[in-house]
Structure 1
Amino acid sequence: MRKGSIAASLFWLSAGWLVLALVATGFLLTDLYSRALDASLSETLEFHVESLAGALLEEGDPSSADIALSDPRFDRPRSGWYWVIRDADGALYNLSTSVVGIDLPDMTGPSDTRGRRSAIMDDVFGTRMRVVERAVTLAPTTYQIVVTGNLSEILELVEGFRGQAFIVLGAVGVMLAIMSAIVARFALRPIDRLSAAIESVREGESVAVTGTYPREIAPLAEEVNELLRSNAQIIERARNQVGNLAHGLKTPIAVLRNEAAARKGALADVVVTESEKMSTMVATYLERARLAARTSVVGKKADPTMIMLRLTRVMRKIHPDCTIAFQRPDASLPWFRGDEADLEEMAGNLLDNACKWSNGQVGVRLDAERSETGTMLLIRIDDNGPGLSEEDAQKALRRGVRLDEKTPGSGLGLDIIKELVDVYGGSLALKRSALGGLLAELRLPTARLGAMARPNAT
């Protein structure tokens, strides 16, 4: 789970709530257990008081040896389990073996309607006790029967229970947290599938978001598909408008140029010159609009290895005196994320220029350049021609600038390449080649490797 993800938020929210709930449950269970043990102790002491009261009334003599309790805890010294029979003045008439050598504290406070009192006290050894006292009248004297139970033992049991309860609840909390994480991942799996479907569209593996999704996110998938359809319609309309504009402007400009060329004079020469400029400008901006529309289409990719193999075969025929060395990459090379024709136009122009200006030797290499921002496709084309200085390399990328005015052309070739490179978010650099001429480095975005294997073309 990534930081800031929905699954992480659900997990930590559930974990926090589980911690609070389980801690509260632990204290509640401990309190209930403590109350149950204390109630059981009180009932036991009440039973012992009733037993002593019954024996006293039956014997009629408070000092009788037959008045006793069978619980062996009353026979152990310092056990916290004591009983005595005494009068209102504190004179002892009978007592348990455990009381020998100590004095039980006197109880204070009012009695209930049955003549009973209950309190929590400490004996001389620091043992906490629950004390129950009952008044029994044996005419003409009223006796007090006092029975105590060890409350410290119950407190120790409660502490032990609390520790065990938190261990068990902690284990339950861990299992619930794991289950919560699993449930969160399972519940968010449709979002992962939607993300993968959108990524598939972006990488060119699909033209629309496909699959069945829960009703909570199904509208999102439908909106993405509608956005793709709307984008395709806008691009198609733009292409049609560009084509209409091309047809609408080319004919009038051609008529002006032809009419002016058929006449003599300064005005005709000006019209011919300016119409040529207009034709060049129209072609340039129409080409830019066409490129922008084409590269806006989502879901295209191309195999650079196959394209470069095809381009090298064509250039060898066009430039038979030039030796083109293409170092073919392995199958792990990523694909270009864009239109195949655009890659052919960029790489083809660079390769054609290298062949034109070389002294018979051109090298082509394809690599994957990895960085913190991602992976880029790197196309290197170098030659052994005269090359360019750093200043001339910068000039060559400007619109309409020609370093050799003797060669026919508009000077827009490299600039059109640069325009395409900018549209795709790539880069073009012109450097000094190890062969002595010019090195063109073209960096372009990549897509995931295509599912189909590349043919073993050479």
Structure 2
Amino acid sequence: MVTGEISLKIRQGFILIFLLVVALPILFFSIGKAYYSSLVEATENTLEAHLYSILAEVDFQEDGIGMPAVLLTPELNRLNSDTVAFIYLNEDKQWQSESAISKEILPNIMPLHAGETQFEKITYQDKDYWQLSFSVISEINNTSHNVAFYLLKDDLALRDMMLGFRHTLRDWLIIMAFAITVLLIIGFIWSARPLQRLDKEIIAIESGNSDEIKGTYPVELQKITQDLNLLLNSQQRQKDRYRASLSDLAHALKTPLAVLKSSPLATDADANEQLDRINVMIEHQLKRAATGGTDTWKKQTPIKPVVDSILNAMKKVYRDKDIHFIANVPNKSYFLGDKTDLMELIGNIIDNACKACDAIVQIEVIEKQNTSMHMLSIKISDDGPGIPEESIKLLTQRGARLDTYEKGHGVGMAIVNDLVQSYQGMLKISDSDLGGALFNVEFNYKQN
């Protein structure tokens, strides 16, 4: 659950970074376009200012148009300037600025109404220029003439300014992206620290090293930790009550049963058989009360220490039989459940195998897991006479009586069957390669 929250945080962080990667290029091009538009507008305003300066200095004479040798606008006096000016009289060129002498350029002549201004981008000999056109009507020799003023500015100057701006903008956006990414990473790590601590506490509970969540957490996680502790405490109290009630009931029945066993009623064979059956059932329930039962909160119980402990006990119990035990149990394999349940489950099967075998008992644990599932298989086999096919079917049949089989497969199998079913597992009984019976207990768990 907490791991899922951390994964959600990671996904959100990647989404923010992705949006940042998408947003910054859009921001780069948007700002660049806006800046270029402002440069064009500034160019138009500059050319208009130059136009007004020329209009103030133009002299309409009888023989044409006169202009001073040096204009008030410095850009029009320089030979290498990117700004040039022309004056046309009835579409004939009458004057050009000093800056146009060294340039091979002509304006785009167009018909204009008197007082009309036109600003546009033109191309002349594969070069781009911004042109401002203006037309007036003037009286020369008592005749009206159309006088057109053309001012041009090389677009290369705008592009150089634009290129420099883009380089500066790019550098600052890279710095900003790096800074935002670092802040996002720091913010994620900082916000994920309580989740990581909570995840470690939950893992400790699952592994059986702790019984509750004890850490102090932010307000956002306090409700979760309180609910988890309530769930754990409630489950433990319920399990304790179940064990106590079942144990009290079984012990309460053992006293009157002992009285009946010592009474004359026990001399009757049929009655004695039924008393023995009741005694077996009571022992069964006492063992069930001692087991943990399936936990809502499954703990990770290492399997190898449990198997080693059981085998040490079996070697002592069946010392006279000189059984050879073959155990193949990975060190890191674990059972998602209570340790007492695992001991009861494996212990009963191994005990039955020891009773039925001739000389060999083999235990093999196979564990497989991926991102979604954790599969556990516990195989216990012997070299005894095996179990008849009809008995195998009865052993695996739901609701069948499991306390009447010979060769050691007795009441313990009832406990095994109950435990396997309580953990949603599967018990398979077949013939082993050793010649006897093979008990295969399989569990499939969904990963958190």
Query: Which position in structure 2 is the counterpart of 1:146?
Result: 149
One-letter amino acid matched to 2:402: G
Query: Is contact 1:203–1:300 with CA below 8 Å preserved after alignment?
Result: yes
1:431/1:70 Cα in 2 relative to 1: closer, same or farther (>3 Å)? Answer: same
Give the whole-Å Cα distance in 2 for the aligned partners of 1:20 and 1:444: 47
Shift of 1:233: 1.3
**Helix, strand or coil: the match of 1:242?**
helix
Of 373-382 and 94-103, the range deviating more from structure 2: 94-103
The count of corresponding residues between Structure 1 and Structure 2 is 429
Shift of 1:224: 0.7
One-letter amino acid matched to 1:216: E
Query: Which position in structure 1 is the counterpart of 2:27?
Result: 25
Of 152-161 and 413-422, the range deviating more from structure 2: 152-161
Query: Is contact 2:129–2:153 with CA below 8 Å preserved after alignment?
Result: yes
Shift of 1:366: 4.4
Query: Which position in structure 1 is the counterpart of 2:225?
Result: 221
1:218/1:33 Cα in 2 relative to 1: closer, same or farther (>3 Å)? Answer: same
Query: Which position in structure 2 is the counterpart of 1:411?
Result: 410
Query: Is contact 1:18–1:173 with CA below 8 Å preserved after alignment?
Result: no
User: TM-score with structure 2 length normalisation?
Assistant: 0.74
Shift of 1:306: 4.1
**Helix, strand or coil: the match of 1:311?**
helix
Give the whole-Å Cα distance in 1 for the aligned partners of 2:67 and 2:307: 118
**Helix, strand or coil: the match of 2:219?**
coil
Gaps of 5+ in 1: 447-458
Gaps of 5+ in 2: none
Give the whole-Å Cα distance in 2 for the aligned partners of 1:190 and 1:124: 68
Query: Which position in structure 2 is the counterpart of 1:233?
Result: 237
1:303/1:386 Cα in 2 relative to 1: closer, same or farther (>3 Å)? Answer: same
Shift of 1:382: 1.8
Give the whole-Å Cα distance in 2 for the aligned partners of 1:101 and 1:297: 88
1:193-272 equivalences in 2 (<5 Å): 193-255=197-259, 261=265
Of 42-51 and 255-264, the range deviating more from structure 2: 255-264
Give the whole-Å Cα distance in 2 for the aligned partners of 1:149 and 1:300: 83
1:215/1:195 Cα in 2 relative to 1: closer, same or farther (>3 Å)? Answer: same
Give the whole-Å Cα distance in 2 for the aligned partners of 1:260 and 1:432: 45
Instruction: Give CA-to-partner distance per residue, 1:194-231, whole Å, 9 cap, x none.
Output: 22321221121221123232221122112111211111
1:46/1:277 Cα in 2 relative to 1: closer, same or farther (>3 Å)? Answer: same
1:75/1:324 Cα in 2 relative to 1: closer, same or farther (>3 Å)? Answer: same
Q: What root-mean-square deviation, in Å, do the aligned CA atoms of Structure 1 and Structure 2 show?
A: 4.6
Query: Is contact 1:85–1:93 with CA below 8 Å preserved after alignment?
Result: yes
Query: Is contact 2:107–2:152 with CA below 8 Å preserved after alignment?
Result: no
Query: Is contact 1:7–1:185 with CA below 8 Å preserved after alignment?
Result: no
Are 1:363 and 2:367 matched, yes or no?
A: no
1:445/1:333 Cα in 2 relative to 1: closer, same or farther (>3 Å)? Answer: farther
Give the whole-Å Cα distance in 2 for the aligned partners of 1:120 and 1:303: 82
Shift of 1:59: 10
User: TM-score with structure 1 length normalisation?
Assistant: 0.73
Query: Which position in structure 1 is the counterpart of 2:132?
Result: 131
Structure with more of its chain in strand, by fraction: 2
Instruction: Give CA-to-partner distance per residue, 1:11-65, whole Å, 9 cap, x none.
Output: 3542454356435532442243224322442343244335434544699983357
Query: Is contact 2:85–2:96 with CA below 8 Å preserved after alignment?
Result: yes
**Helix, strand or coil: the match of 2:149?**
strand
Give the whole-Å Cα distance in 2 for the aligned partners of 1:253 and 1:307: 34
**Helix, strand or coil: the match of 1:239?**
helix
Query: Is contact 2:365–2:379 with CA below 8 Å preserved after alignment?
Result: yes
Identity of aligned residues (%): 22
Give the whole-Å Cα distance in 2 for the aligned partners of 1:52 and 1:201: 89
Query: Is contact 1:377–1:444 with CA below 8 Å preserved after alignment?
Result: yes
One-letter amino acid matched to 2:333: P
Shift of 1:131: 0.6
Instruction: Give CA-to-partner distance per residue, 1:370-414, whole Å, 9 cap, x none.
Output: 25532536353423x22234443333455335344xx8x993222
Query: Is contact 1:22–1:169 with CA below 8 Å preserved after alignment?
Result: no
Give the whole-Å Cα distance in 2 for the aligned partners of 1:109 and 1:19: 51
One-letter amino acid matched to 1:219: K
Query: Which position in structure 2 is the counterpart of 1:378?
Result: 378
Query: Which position in structure 2 is the counterpart of 1:430?
Result: 429
One-letter amino acid matched to 1:362: I
Which one of 63, 67, 72 corresponds to residue 66 of structure 2? 63
